[in-house]
Amino acid sequence: MRSRAPIILLDEFEKASREDILNVIGKMTDRKLNYTFLDKYFNFNLDISEAIILLTANYLEKVPQFVKDRCKPVNIELLTYQQRKDILKLQAKDYLTEYQMEGLTGLFSERFLELCITETWGIRGGINNLMATIDFLDELEGDGLASELEDLADFDNLEETEAADYVKREEGVIKLTYELGGEKRVLVLTKRIGIEERSIKETEGEITVREIITGRDVESGRAFVED
């Protein structure tokens, strides 16, 4: 059966702290009120009682109780380590095609893609690292040096922010140095960990952040669907 019901998605809504925003979410998810929901921007009432409302959240403990009572929680499995690497491999090919550098596809080995994966549960940091790499290769192409590379994982030197430092600041970098054309060229990749990598409390204690090489995930994301 087809439906013309609109879909309303509020991403990471649990980060909203202002009371007026929470009040709006409360009225949206209240079936006794949302048929006369007031749109304050356009200043007229809307019937959103038939709308499909999706609220996404990263942390269950931060979700207001009224949302838990009115909505149905749905766990969304996070990308595995291998899935992230596969996505980056496909994305690298797309970027190289866009920049007309398809001949450099072989530079993105499995090991290099692993260096691009950041120590967060998402893929955004890895894609940013791919873009930094594409810019790096674009400069090398302009200087006629890209052909000297066989694999971006075959660097001459690697410098990495110490774990104690980047965990404290929630950011860090990996610097890859290549000796090309008689000079040093440096590619900087982020290894930002972000808020998702803080330890997570469970009933039997705390689970600390995972090591990126193991590829283990510690918790799924969550979404709430209006019940």
Mean residue pLDDT across the chain: 81
User: Averaged over 81-92, what is the pLDDT?
Assistant: 93
- pLDDT tens per residue across span 13-50: 888 878 888 888 888 888 888 888 887 778 888 888 88
pLDDT reading at 226 higher than 80: no
Residue with tokens 């950011």: 171
Residue 192: pLDDT band with limits 50, 70, 90: confident
CB 189 within 8 A of CB 182: no
pLDDT at residue 199, rounded to an integer = 34
**Residues 107-135 as b or e (16 or more Cβ within 10 Å = b):** bbeeebbbbbbbbbbebebbbebbeebbe
Q: Does position 72 have pLDDT exceeding 50, yes or no?
A: yes
pLDDT band at 177 (very low <50, low <70, confident <90, very high): very high
**Which residues, other chains included, contact 199 with Cβ-Cβ below 8 Å and sequence gap of 6+?**
206, 207, 208, 209
Query: pLDDT, tens digit, for every residue of 135-154?
Result: 999 999 999 999 999 999 99
Q: Does pLDDT of 123 surpass 80?
A: yes
pLDDT the model gives residue 73: 86
pLDDT at 202 over 50: no
Query: What are 85's two structure tokens?
Result: 């690497």
Count of CB atoms within 10 A of residue 82's CB? 9
Cβ atoms of residues 119 and 209 within 8 Å: yes
Instruction: Give the pLDDT confidence score for residue 205 in this predicted structure.
Output: 38
- pLDDT at residue 216 is higher than 50: no
Lowest mean pLDDT among 73-82, 111-120, 197-206, 215-224: 197-206
**What is the C-alpha separation between 14 and 58, in angstroms, rounded?**
8
pTM of this prediction? 0.66
Q: Which comes out higher in pLDDT, residue 213 or 83? A: 83
Segment 83-96 mean pLDDT: 94
Better-predicted residue by pLDDT, 36 or 88: 88
